């Protein structure tokens, strides 16, 4: 009798065990894309902005890229945009922001082009006591 009890426990536990169907999740591969973030301003002369963005190709401790950037002007006084380019971008998100560190009443604009096509366009205008600030957080659709 003592020997049959462990055998019965094993048989009962085996008979109560169910086999669950395995769910197979297929990951959709992300096709690398060419991404350009273009920042423009309508300030007629010297303009400086602060830009912060994530560069996922870098070490996780160094991914946040930030700093002041000045716009350049051509010989006719036309402003040249600030362009941040990523070739073969293989991530789902583009994360960043830019702001003018003053309250000048000028436009600040960010556009995101993916493979040459405009996908994101946002702008902000400063006013008394308010800095022109834009966030270019965007999720890439496959």
The residues near 39 (Cβ < 8 Å, ≥ 6 apart) are 49, 51, 69, 81, 82, 83, 84, 98, 108, 109, 110
How sure is the predictor about 3, in pLDDT bands with cuts at 50, 70 and 90? low
| Beta strands, E only, 8-136 | 33-41, 48-54, 64-70, 72-73, 79-80, 82-89, 93-94, 96-100, 107-114, 117-125, 133-135
Residue 83, pLDDT score: 95
Taking the complete model, does pTM exceed 0.85, yes or no?
A: no
Domains of the chain, start order = 23-139 (2.60.60)
Summarize pLDDT for 58-94 with one digit per residue, the tens: 888 778 899 999 999 988 888 999 999 999 999 999 9
Summarize pLDDT for 12-60 with one digit per residue, the tens: 666 655 555 666 666 667 688 999 999 999 888 888 899 999 998 888 8
């Amino acid at each position: 009798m003592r020997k049959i009890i462990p055998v019965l426990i094993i048989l009962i536990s085996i008979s109560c065990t169910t086999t669950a169907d395995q769910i197979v999740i297929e990951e959709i591969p992300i096709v690398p894309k060419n991404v350009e973030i273009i920042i423009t301003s309508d300030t007629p002369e010297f303009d400086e902005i602060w830009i912060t963005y994530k560069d996922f190709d870098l070490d996780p401790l160094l991914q946040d890229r930030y700093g002041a950037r000045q716009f350049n002007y051509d010989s006719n006084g036309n402003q040249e945009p600030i362009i941040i380019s990523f070739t073969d971008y293989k991530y789902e998100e583009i994360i960043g922001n830019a702001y003018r560190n003053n309250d000048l009443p000028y436009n600040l604009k960010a556009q995101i082009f993916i493979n040459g096509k405009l996908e994101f366009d946002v702008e902000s205008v400063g006013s008394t006591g308010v800095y022109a600030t834009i966030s270019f957080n965007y999720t890439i659709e496959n």
